[in-house]
């Protein structure tokens, strides 16, 4: 199975748009300045592993992969099967760059985005192998 991103060019789904906006409004103080970029964002690629992560382009400009990632908002959630996962929205070089879903417990990275009512702020010192 290829883990290369699937390149495409499409509008954000309703859920991607809503969740990203919610994360920006409920993230770091500096994250709100990225909300205006959200109306210009398009999905540039899907994660090659099949999870729900997406990369954005803004007005056709892909994110700068040579620059570091700034995490703007970071949350955790538990799936119905009890898997512990994280989700964050990020920027690169002052450009909104994507929405990332990841597995905290190593079980399975979800292929669907969570609902906002399932999200809890990510506090690394509160996560243990027993969660």
> Rounded to whole angstroms, how far apart are CA atoms 25 and 37?
13
CB neighbours of residue 103 within 10 Å: 15
3-state DSSP: the chain helix, strand, coil percent, rounded to 5?
A: 20, 35, 40
| Predicted pLDDT of residue 2 | 55
Q: Among candidates 36, 31, 93, 32, which has minimal Cα distance to 61?
A: 93
| Predicted pLDDT of residue 13 | 96
Residue 70 domain boundaries: 6-122
**Domain-embedded: residue 127:** no
| Predicted pLDDT of residue 48 | 87
Give the chain's residues under pLDDT 70.
1-2, 127-131
| Predicted pLDDT of residue 119 | 97
3-class secondary structure for 50-85?
Answer: CCCCEEEEECCEECCCCCCEEEEEEEEEECCCCCEE
| Predicted pLDDT of residue 128 | 59
CB neighbours of residue 114 within 10 Å: 19
| Predicted pLDDT of residue 52 | 95
**Domain-embedded: residue 79:** yes
**Domain-embedded: residue 128:** no
Its pTM stands at 0.89
Q: Give the residue carrying structure tokens 């450009």.
A: 95
**Domain-embedded: residue 129:** no
Q: How many domains does the chain contain in total?
A: 1
């Amino acid at each position: 199975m290829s883990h290369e991103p699937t390149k495409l060019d499409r509008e954000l789904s309703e859920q991607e748009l809503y969740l990203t906006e919610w994360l920006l409004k409920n993230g770091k103080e500096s994250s709100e300045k990225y909300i205006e970029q959200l109306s210009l964002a398009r999905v540039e690629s899907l994660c090659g592993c099949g999870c729900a992560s997406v990369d954005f382009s803004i007005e056709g400009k892909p994110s700068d992969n040579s620059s570091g990632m700034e995490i703007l908002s970071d949350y955790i959630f538990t799936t119905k099967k009890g898997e512990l996962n994280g989700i964050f929205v990020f920027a690169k070089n002052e450009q909104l760059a994507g929405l990332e879903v990841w597995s905290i417990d190593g079980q399975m990275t979800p292929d669907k985005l969570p609902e906002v009512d399932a999200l809890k702020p990510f506090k690394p010192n509160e996560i243990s192998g027993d969660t």
